Chains A and B, each alone.
Chain A
């Protein structure tokens, strides 16, 4: 692959210390102590409404914490100006259809914002970088297409390219594979894992527990706004926890290094 994946420095540790957020009198997340470790792919899992997306928002610094702190390399993230924070932490929310007709290249170039000069914008050196980001997510051929005409899966890969364009060392992705076909899904997870192995900190919200177990170095399980467990997939994902948190009967399948389950409804 090209340089977009090859230039990572050792990423800082991003952690939440006693993190909690209250909106309209309801705690969406509370008392969360969690670190997104450098050179690790952390998968965030949990049932609907567990607070997974909220967790990523707090880690990215786009939402203010009601209590606790978000620390980037030991420093309070909220004390950093937004521009500087964006150079270090990239956050991709769940996919929303764009309504304005940017071309794919213009759209991905939005990711250069924290590096741009206010008046003169992107330099020509950035253009090569954008190309390599487009290439890494297999959307270079779409560069001149309007983002409004993309399929869900194409759009998701374009969003990943924009995330890479920021050059951030910490990547937070909310359900990055929800619209992808199998091959592109595996490609993206492989890319995420490679980025992590090269030294970045990567956190993904995933719904497929088997995929989470296979690709992630660590798994964080959320339920009802609280962190239930965190650790290597083989230790965390066990039938007992899955029954409690996901309310499913998990039958472990033999013959694989990572835990693989067959799921059945509780009966």
Chain B
């Protein structure tokens, strides 16, 4: 199943090239097609006005649709997909389990709690960035709680971390339900929460791009810096330590970067499921477990996958929109099962 024509490294570059083409294609469709038909030339004129130097004029209504509605939506979708897939790849590596998801230590439920909190108490109504900021805070706070619980004498066993994460996830999910039940009478708040929980990038603007960007940059930088450590951690902590990994530092760095990435993504898109689980799993099957290749490839794959899924979300039931989280789950879950069954039989034959 692994891509290796012309060597493993060459296979990686082919994969990245193909992913870039897919991402650009999907992004192009996202920019050029939409509910309001706009001439291709006009779209190009708008893009040129914003991206190329020099003064140009464009029809203001077209400019608004292309540059303020379609473009940030595509960019946010790509960023969210990339962040979730990258964080998922990190968690699968850290827990040595291909079924781990970005939120396994409670970070995405924590982010949801933060956002739901902001929405139920009306903070989001008075301040646009309240929900995203509370979401990021919720994600980081969840990780802080889980690591505090799991750490003894400066040592954090991943199994304890995992169990603490499961417990916190359950607790926070119950808390979220309670908050939502409380807000039932306030129709507007309940509707916003429900929309948010189902995930999506509808009506996201450049302010949301700015919201994900810092977390994405920090999270990616940390992820790349500690990528090699994850390769060694796959072999168990004892082996990793004997080969020179400062395991507690590496684990902490991986956890925090994944929490920052997950928190930032969930903050602007709500809960977009299955991307962080399916994408890294698929990329590992194709490119192997070396994280220096796996992490960037997962990021790119997550990006085109979510941009593509958002295209489906927009067009499947047009003019109505399907929720993005629903689309990713509908595409992701069966595909994941297919991989699982296929891979299992492959393993069975090779033994």
Judge if B34 is at the interface, Cβ distance under 8 Å: no
Q: Who on chain B is nearest to A106 by CB?
A: B290
Interface size class of B (residues with CB under 8 A): 20 to 34
B288 and A103: CB pair below 8 A? yes
Of the listed residues A60, A92, A100, A111, the one surrounded by the most CB atoms of chain B closer than 10 A to its CB is: A100
Judge if A82 is at the interface, Cβ distance under 8 Å: yes
Residues of the B chain whose Cβ atoms lie less than 8 Å from the Cβ of A48: none
| A224 smallest CB distance to B (angstroms) | 23
Give the docked Cα–Cα distance between A255 and B210 (Å): 82
Of the listed residues A86, A116, A166, the one surrounded by the most CB atoms of chain B closer than 10 A to its CB is: A86
Q: Who on chain A is nearest to B237 by CB?
A: A62
Judge if A101 is at the interface, Cβ distance under 8 Å: yes
Judge if B350 is at the interface, Cβ distance under 8 Å: yes
Given the contacts A82-B244, A86-B244, A102-B288, A118 and B239 also touching, CB distance less than 8 Å: no
Residues of the B chain whose Cβ atoms lie less than 8 Å from the Cβ of A102: 234, 288-290
Q: Who on chain B is nearest to A166 by CB?
A: B243
B232 and A113: CB pair below 8 A? yes
Residues of the A chain whose Cβ atoms lie less than 8 Å from the Cβ of B246: 81-83
Q: What total of chain A residues lie within 8 Å of the partner, measured CB to CB?
A: 32
| A56 smallest CB distance to B (angstroms) | 10
Judge if B225 is at the interface, Cβ distance under 8 Å: yes
Give the docked Cα–Cα distance between A84 and B245 (Å): 10
B234 and A119: CB pair below 8 A? no
* Cross-interface CB contact of A113 among B228, B284, B289, cutoff 8 Å: B228
Residues of the B chain whose Cβ atoms lie less than 8 Å from the Cβ of A118: 225, 228
Judge if B188 is at the interface, Cβ distance under 8 Å: no
| A59 smallest CB distance to B (angstroms) | 11
For window 227-285 of B, CB contacts with A under 8 Å fall at: 228, 231-232, 234-236, 238-239, 241-246, 284
Residues of the B chain whose Cβ atoms lie less than 8 Å from the Cβ of A183: none
Judge if B292 is at the interface, Cβ distance under 8 Å: yes
Give the docked Cα–Cα distance between A102 and B288 (Å): 6
Give the docked Cα–Cα distance between A81 and B224 (Å): 21
Q: Who on chain B is nearest to A84 by CB?
A: B244
B241 and A62: CB pair below 8 A? yes
Judge if B24 is at the interface, Cβ distance under 8 Å: no
Q: Who on chain A is nearest to B244 by CB?
A: A86
| A89 smallest CB distance to B (angstroms) | 8
B232 and A110: CB pair below 8 A? yes
* Cross-interface CB contact of B350 among A57, A81, A106, A149, cutoff 8 Å: A149
Residues of the B chain whose Cβ atoms lie less than 8 Å from the Cβ of A96: 236
Residues of the B chain whose Cβ atoms lie less than 8 Å from the Cβ of A84: 244
B231 and A93: CB pair below 8 A? no
| B116 smallest CB distance to A (angstroms) | 37
Residues of the B chain whose Cβ atoms lie less than 8 Å from the Cβ of A57: 238
Residues of the A chain whose Cβ atoms lie less than 8 Å from the Cβ of B225: 118-119
For window 94-117 of A, CB contacts with B under 8 Å fall at: 96, 98-103, 106, 110-111, 113-114, 116
28 example contacts (A-B, Cβ-Cβ < 8 A) are as follows A62-B238, A62-B242, A81-B246, A82-B246, A86-B243, A87-B244, A92-B242, A96-B236, A98-B235, A100-B96, A100-B289, A101-B2, A102-B234, A103-B8, A106-B8, A106-B288, A110-B243, A113-B243, A113-B244, A113-B245, A114-B244, A116-B228, A118-B228, A119-B224, A119-B225, A121-B228, A149-B350, A166-B243
Known interface pairs A102-B234, A102-B288, A113-B232; 13 further A-B residue pairs with C-beta atoms within 8 A, sorted by A's residue number? A57-B238, A82-B241, A82-B246, A87-B244, A98-B235, A100-B289, A101-B288, A110-B243, A111-B243, A113-B244, A114-B244, A119-B225, A149-B350
Q: Chain B residues in contact with chain A, CB under 8 A? A: 2, 8, 96, 224-225, 228, 231-232, 234-236, 238-239, 241-246, 284, 288-290, 292, 350
**Pairs of residues from A and B, 10 with the lowest C-beta to C-beta distance, nearest first:** A86-B244, A114-B244, A91-B242, A83-B244, A100-B289, A62-B241, A100-B234, A113-B243, A82-B246, A62-B242
